[in-house]
Structure 1
Amino acid sequence: MSSNNISETGSSFEDRGKEESNVIETTSPTLEEQQTKIDQLAAEYGINQKKLMLKLDLHIVPAICLLYLLAFLDRVNISNANVYGLAKDLNLHGNQYNIALTVFFVPYILSEIPSNYFLKKLNPHVWLSGCMVLFGAVTLAQGFVKNFGGLVVCRVFLGMSEAGMFPGCFYLLSMWYRREEAQRRYSFFFSSTCLAGGFSGLIAAGIWNLNGKRGLEGWRWIFIIEGAITIFCSALMFFCISDFPEDARYLSENERAFIKAKLALDSGDSSHDVPLDAKSVFRVFKEWKIWVIGLMYFFLIVPSYGYAYFAATIVKSLKYSAIQTQFHSVPPWVAAFGFSMISAIASDKTRHRAGYAIFSCLVAIAGFIMLLANHTNIHVRYGGLFLIASGLYTAMPLLVCWTNMNFAGHHRRSVGTGWQIGFGNIGGIIATFSFLSTDGPFYTKGLTIGLVFTICAIVTIIGYELGLIYENRQKRLGLMDERYEKMSEIEKKVAGDLKPSFIYQY
């Protein structure tokens, strides 16, 4: 299709896209039938699907991966700083270090859903890059704190400015990809946490040479350098972060219309034009699924943050020096990245989530048992860290992708994502007090807590899956039709996955 034809028929593309978005309201085709329909749409709009998918991936995924890599790095680098003497130099005593970790989560939790509101209102490239400037500046400021009070203030502002990163990026991803396309992108994005954990150790090891430079301790340089890098990258992110499909400037009219029609076959009308108000938010909370997914994520956050914040401490307890600890903290994160991506590719190929998530949790459980059962063999205990990191940081993106893609439309996905991440991160408060200095060197209490919460995650995964199977059966039998027909016109427009034709994936 020529560029002249595209410009002349832009409105017709939009009209046809709207017509396609209504298909899901009247029919529920099989995946094979949907693929046939997508191929027909591609031919109609003159789209090369492989080239367009590559174009989307290059515009969307790298930018948010770098963004979240830096966000997670700035969040957990305090553990590397502590190995270099942060607590000693700031004269922290008792549980003050754990309190400094905990206060991060209070504003972080409270700001999740409001942040997704501003993300939609202001556009992702504006909101996310703006938040990035703020948390980079706060990270840099941590390098100059003089006491416990200063550290706490910085951690509070860090939590507030980072709140929008994780749910916002997942929300953005969910509005670009179909369910069978999403998992590898979700996992690659989420694996930025693994890369951040690995880079954190490597950077900290390199920064040790700056100890004493300009009268500053080595741990201060960790914050200063990583904060400065974040601020610099935020300027680039303003131009690199993609907006939603309806607003992305790098798409031609036919590409935009094709994407909207393609996504509508999977999730229905996105309802991007309908404002998100208080009624829309409360409407989402009437569904049982949003409560279960929050609980599911909560159960995994506890052991995951326990590992992220205290992995370096556990490695150090294996009698490594400070510099060796930083280097030895890297390989488990690398293994987690590899395991996560292999699982994601397999999950997308088989179009299944629950089984992979449960298996990943079992891998983490095996790692916890190895550390709890063996107090003497360093190699066994170090190997347990590989299993814990690989299991947890594979299960989490599987769960978030699975649950978020089972919401449909801007309203339900923005609220659902914000709530899941916000409520789930309450677990971070528990995690920060799971590993106390008085429990070293074996940290039996923290490891036991991680084991129990991972088992609880498996229970909720099974419960969520059974609930989806039941609702799918109800929809196929036509038992959900009456509830849908009783909705107002605006409720039907933003119903998303509540439409009788939307079949949940598990």
Structure 2
Amino acid sequence: MQPKHHTPQQASDSPWLKIGGSLLIGMFVSYLDRTNLSVALPELSQDLGFAGSNFAQVSSWALTTFLIGYTIANILGGLFTRNADPKRVALWCVTLWSIATVAVGFTHSIWVLLICRVILGITEGIYWPQQSRFARAWFSPQQRTRANSVVQFYGQYLALALGFIVLTPLYDAFGWRVLFFITGGLGLVVIVPLYMKNLRPEAEAPYRDEKVHSSVAVKLSLASFGGPAFFLLIFTYIAQSMLFWGITLWIPLVVRSLGFTGFSQAIASAVPYLAAVLLAIPIARISDKTNRRVLIASLGLLIPGCLIITLPLIDSAVLKIALITVAMGYYASSFTPNIWSLIQNSVAPSATGPAAGIINGIGSGGGGTIAGLLVGMMYMKTGSYLAGFVVIGIIVVCGGLSLMLWGRLQRKPAANRPPLGADSQQLN
């Protein structure tokens, strides 16, 4: 027997606050768990024995082991959990990655650190596609840029903006172990109870796909993902992930190399992400109002990519930070919320979770791993983090061009395109 399908009016009193707000807070904590290592590395490397000549090499692996697990888990997690209730999946994931984060605070071994970071990557990788399932099931197509901003964007960038400001003083005052105890403890003490209370089963959602909850197996094909053009989205996401992770994994050390220390280092590390949060509100409204999501998202890669390429031409440390701030702020607010709306509106409903997992797994995991290692290796060869940033900037420009080409293909007559979900709109 099918569960009662609530109308949007019946569900409208809860999704934005209970669903969106809870997932926002959960995403905030998840990004604290991802970025705490970037803040803790100077002291942690001394305690675990890889300070000195091995620092750049071991740090690169320590930062990117998360992404290795994240890559595999996004892809497989999106596919294997598509018929599971996203609330239950999310609860298990938060519990496991929080325990792994707390465990790092107790360790004296590099190998335990790496294993815990892989567990963090696997569980957060399985968790990520569930957010797209919540956004598609609980919000109408006209609301999805704003919904994705709440569900996936604000928590992420608020954590990056406020996290460095909060975590850096905590690290300076109490050391790296307390940092991991606090960030892991937040998941167990705050997020798990919050999700248990506020998140609802997908069967109650107003925009859920009935086939997902039927006894009939839904087969996935390339057409389910929008046809061959889906590969353009994957490449675009690889490029954007290189920009995001290349800067995010290394920015505390980049800022330190530019002469900022203490609280000024925390502020300089945070301002790019604060700019993203401030710009996201007006850009999300413009995107939903104009439906020009492809153009806005493409410019969100093209312009920042060009700005990053020019970093070595600037001598002032303050101006370098300002350029990174403008690039990251504009990229994050323009690209990130729109790309998920485009994905959710261009794939079949049953492919929403798998598509999110494949794109985020290959893109964020693969692109992020490449970027993290690239910046570290370029630093070892040149003594500058900016050399790696320039290479990333070139790839990001190519990613923007790839998305524009995808948009052109989407404007083909409907008869020449694979069938999409029933709630899909014309993509511009």
Shared fold, TM over 0.5:
yes
Contact in 2 for aligned 1:335/1:390 (Cα 8 Å): yes
Distance 1:442 1:367 in 2: 17
Query: Superposition pairs for residues 484-503 of structure 1, below 5 Å?
Result: 496-497=420-421, 503=425
Contact in 2 for aligned 1:191/1:393 (Cα 8 Å): no
- The aligned residue for residue 415 of structure 1 is 354
Counterpart of 1:184 (choices 146, 150, 157) is: 146
Contact in 1 for aligned 2:306/2:394 (Cα 8 Å): no
Q: Deviations over 1:432-453 (max 9, x none)?
A: 1122252676423211122112
Query: Superposition pairs for residues 458-497 of structure 1, below 5 Å?
Result: 458-470=400-412, 473-475=413-415, 496-497=420-421
How big is the alpha-carbon RMSD for the aligned residues of Structure 1 and Structure 2?
2.8
Distance 1:231 1:133 in 2: 6
Query: Superposition pairs for residues 262-301 of structure 1, below 5 Å?
Result: 270-274=210-214, 279-280=219-220, 284=224, 287-301=227-241
Cα distance change, pair 416–209 in 1 and its aligned pair in 2 (3 A): closer
Q: Deviations over 1:446-477 (max 9, x none)?
A: 1112211211111111110011011xx143xx
Distance 1:224 1:182 in 2: 35
Distance 2:262 2:130 in 1: 36
Structure 1 unpaired stretches of 5+: 1-10, 18-44, 212-217, 249-258, 264-268, 485-494
Q: Give the letter aligned to residue 383 of structure 1.
A: A
Counterpart of 2:390 (choices 439, 445, 448) is: 448
SS in 1 for 2:301: helix
Counterpart of 2:134 (choices 155, 172, 183) is: 172
Cα distance change, pair 412–120 in 1 and its aligned pair in 2 (3 A): closer
Cα distance change, pair 72–310 in 1 and its aligned pair in 2 (3 A): same
Cα distance change, pair 368–358 in 1 and its aligned pair in 2 (3 A): same
Counterpart of 1:104 (choices 66, 75, 88) is: 66
- The aligned residue for residue 145 of structure 1 is 107
Contact in 1 for aligned 2:141/2:424 (Cα 8 Å): no
Pick the structure with greater CA Rg.
Answer: 1
- The aligned residue for residue 328 of structure 2 is 389
Structure 2 unpaired stretches of 5+: none
Contact in 1 for aligned 2:306/2:397 (Cα 8 Å): no
Cα distance change, pair 321–461 in 1 and its aligned pair in 2 (3 A): same
Cα distance change, pair 52–284 in 1 and its aligned pair in 2 (3 A): closer
Q: Does 1:206 align with 2:169?
A: yes
Distance 1:126 1:294 in 2: 28
Cα distance change, pair 286–369 in 1 and its aligned pair in 2 (3 A): closer
Q: Does 1:160 align with 2:102?
A: no
Q: Does 1:326 align with 2:266?
A: yes
Greater relative contact order (CA < 8 Å, ≥ 6 in sequence) = 2
Distance 1:387 1:209 in 2: 28
Contact in 1 for aligned 2:309/2:391 (Cα 8 Å): no
Shift of 1:304: 0.6
Aligned residues: 418
Contact in 1 for aligned 2:89/2:127 (Cα 8 Å): no
Q: Give the letter aligned to residue 398 of structure 1.
A: N
Q: Deviations over 1:471-503 (max 9, x none)?
A: xx143xxx66xxx8xxxxxxxxxx643x7x955
Q: Does 1:81 align with 2:40?
A: yes
Q: Deviations over 1:26-81 (max 9, x none)?
A: xxxxxxxxxxxxxxxxxxx8x8x5x9534321121011111111112201211111
Q: Give the letter aligned to residue 239 of structure 1.
A: K
Distance 1:130 1:281 in 2: 29
Q: Deviations over 1:210-265 (max 9, x none)?
A: 43xxxxxx112111111111111223212222332x335xxxxxxxxxx45xx8xx
Shift of 1:366: 4.4
Distance 1:312 1:198 in 2: 12
Cα distance change, pair 68–384 in 1 and its aligned pair in 2 (3 A): same
Q: Deviations over 1:169-225 (max 9, x none)?
A: 0222022222221101212332322111122212223314543xxxxxx11211111
Distance 1:75 1:275 in 2: 38
Q: Does 1:358 align with 2:317?
A: no
Query: Superposition pairs for residues 41-80 of structure 1, below 5 Å?
Result: 49=9, 53-80=12-39
Distance 2:414 2:85 in 1: 37
Shift of 1:122: 3.6
SS in 2 for 1:288: coil
Distance 2:63 2:386 in 1: 20
Distance 1:357 1:242 in 2: 31
Contact in 2 for aligned 1:100/1:152 (Cα 8 Å): yes
Counterpart of 1:226 (choices 159, 183, 208) is: 183
Cα distance change, pair 503–199 in 1 and its aligned pair in 2 (3 A): closer
- The aligned residue for residue 236 of structure 1 is 194
Contact in 2 for aligned 1:299/1:456 (Cα 8 Å): yes
- The aligned residue for residue 93 of structure 2 is 131
Shift of 1:341: 2.3
- The aligned residue for residue 76 of structure 2 is 114
Contact in 2 for aligned 1:197/1:333 (Cα 8 Å): yes
Q: TM-score, normalised by structure 1?
A: 0.76
- The aligned residue for residue 160 of structure 2 is 197
Cα distance change, pair 68–118 in 1 and its aligned pair in 2 (3 A): farther
- The aligned residue for residue 505 of structure 1 is 427
Q: Deviations over 1:97-119 (max 9, x none)?
A: 11122222222212224323554
Counterpart of 1:371 (choices 298, 303, 311) is: 311
Q: TM-score, normalised by structure 2?
A: 0.89
Distance 1:445 1:75 in 2: 24
Q: Between the two proteins, what is the percent identity of the paired residues?
A: 20
Distance 2:22 2:183 in 1: 17
SS in 2 for 1:95: helix
Contact in 1 for aligned 2:239/2:395 (Cα 8 Å): yes
Q: Give the letter aligned to residue 196 of structure 2.
A: F
Cα distance change, pair 356–302 in 1 and its aligned pair in 2 (3 A): same
